[in-house]
Amino acid sequence: KAGVTQTPRYLIKTRGQQVTLSCSPISGHRSVSWYQQTPGQGLQFLFEYFSETQRNKGNFPGRFSGRQFSNSRSEMNVSTLELGDSALYLCASSLGGDRETQYFGPGTRLLVL
């Protein structure tokens, strides 16, 4: 099976712009979670989508949003980018049950200038 894929792999934006990141889960997986990884804060949970519905949400401002499509692919959007949004954004897919193994993609490296 193909693993989790994320596009693009690298992105450079300027403050105030918005960005959309894409994640394709492993075939058959219905849950997609998004995480932000930074040197200072480590890995932080953003939100999780299951069957096109946001099922869980972390402590991030409303500028961070997401959605999931009927084929389980997911997108994450960040509006009004700030310098502090520079990070590696990881998505992970799983079958969807509690405590199921989450399989991570390679991430999208976002740099905000």
Partner 1 sequence: QQQVKQSPQSLIVQKGGISIINCAYENTAFDYFPWYQQFPGKGPALLIAIRPDVSEKKEGRFTISFNKSAKQFSLHIMDSQPGDSATYFCAATTGTALIFGKGTTLSVSS
CB under 8 A: which stretch of 12-20, 66-74, 77-85, 87-95 binds partner 1?
87-95
CB of 113 to partner 1, least distance (A): 22
The rounded distance, in Å, linking the Cα atoms of 107 and 4 is 9
Among 56, 71, 77, 80, binds partner 1 (CB under 8 A): 56
For residue 2, give the nearest of 33, 34, 24, 32 by alpha carbon: 24
Segment interacting with partner 1, rule: CB under 8 A, options 10-18, 36-44, 60-68, 76-84: 36-44
Distance CA(96)–CA(80), nearest Å, equals: 31
Which region, judged by CB under 8 A, interacts with partner 1, from 12-20, 39-47, 63-71, 72-80?
A: 39-47
Q: Does 52 sit near partner 1 (CB under 8 A)?
A: no
Our finding on whether 15 is near partner 1 (CB under 8 A) is: no
Helix%, strand%, coil% for the chain, nearest 5: 5, 55, 45
Interface with partner 1 in residues 58-77 (CB under 8 A): 58
The secondary structure of 74-100 as a DSSP string is EEEEE-S--GGG-EEEEEEEE-SSTTP
